[in-house]
Amino acid sequence: MIRHVANAVYLLPHTPVVARVGYSPGVVDRSRRAIEITRWLARRGFPAAEPLEPPTGRRQPLVVKIARRRFAVTFWRYYPPDDRPAEPTQLAAVARRLHAVHDRPPVRLPRFTPLMAVSSALADPAAARALSVPERAWLSGRIRQARDEYRRLASPLGHGLVHGDLYLGNLLSADRGVVLADWDTVCVGPREVDLAPTYTAVRFGLAAGAVDRFAEAYGHDLRTWAGLPTLRTIRELSTLDTLIRAAPTRPASAEELRHRLGTLRRGDNAALWHPQ
């Protein structure tokens, strides 16, 4: 295993292949869209992570049923970690290229609906073990409020194809630059959705100068837009999803969940969070 956040990612022995195992609700449809979209984008020269044919020769995703749960397994080229971290300017360049794609995708994409994953996590029985009753009530109310604010937003950049989770952690080093990975949340929505994670990354220590460089490279600065606080709230709340699910069995996740939720409830926008 080389990573386990929303999905478990394994490097297969003696191969340059990773197997990505997803198990959250709706994972089969999301995995199928991710495969189709990345193949389609690659044919257009876009730097998307490359899906590979499964060793079994079957079509992706492979669906496994265990104890009434469905697991989706997809196979991807392995991109070894680079000593040099990806730069915000590289992420901005990838975002610009993605947002310039106007062709119709080969699969129907959902509309961006904020906070679906965290709402699902909140409805899971595990949430009762991860959060107190007042915490669950506060979070439910905050989700409703953020969605109401989102519905009133006007998008200066317009709607189109968006990655849905475009942040530096999903930018991988490749032979000819970088590729964008993790396409589970690909959808149609306001392009500002893909920019907001970088502005929210100050929570994890990203310097203001890095945000400046990102805005300059993309050609648009969300800090000039009144809708940024709403998208930042949506992004921050969305990070609670995996923590809620993991908290009952992982003490570190439970501690970080308490920390993030506490800063949100206090309205502390400057407190630093810890990556998981």
Tell me how many domains the chain contains: 1
Assess if residue 73 is contained within a domain: no
Domain that holds residue 84: 80-266
What is the pTM assigned to this prediction? 0.94
Q: How far apart are CA 163 and CA 176, in angstroms?
A: 21
Share of the chain above pLDDT 90, in %: 86
Assess if residue 60 is contained within a domain: no
Query: For residue 58, is pLDDT > 80?
Result: no
Q: Is residue 83 very low, low, confident or very high in pLDDT (cuts 50, 70, 90)?
A: confident
Q: How far apart are CA 101 and CA 38, in angstroms?
A: 13
Assess if residue 21 is contained within a domain: no
Q: Is residue 6 very low, low, confident or very high in pLDDT (cuts 50, 70, 90)?
A: confident
Assess if residue 35 is contained within a domain: no
Assess if residue 11 is contained within a domain: no
Which residues touch 92 (CB under 8 Å, ≥6 apart)? 198, 213, 214, 215, 216, 217, 218
- Any idea what the CATH number is for the domain that residue 212 is in? 3.90.1200.10
Q: What does the pLDDT read at residue 95?
A: 98
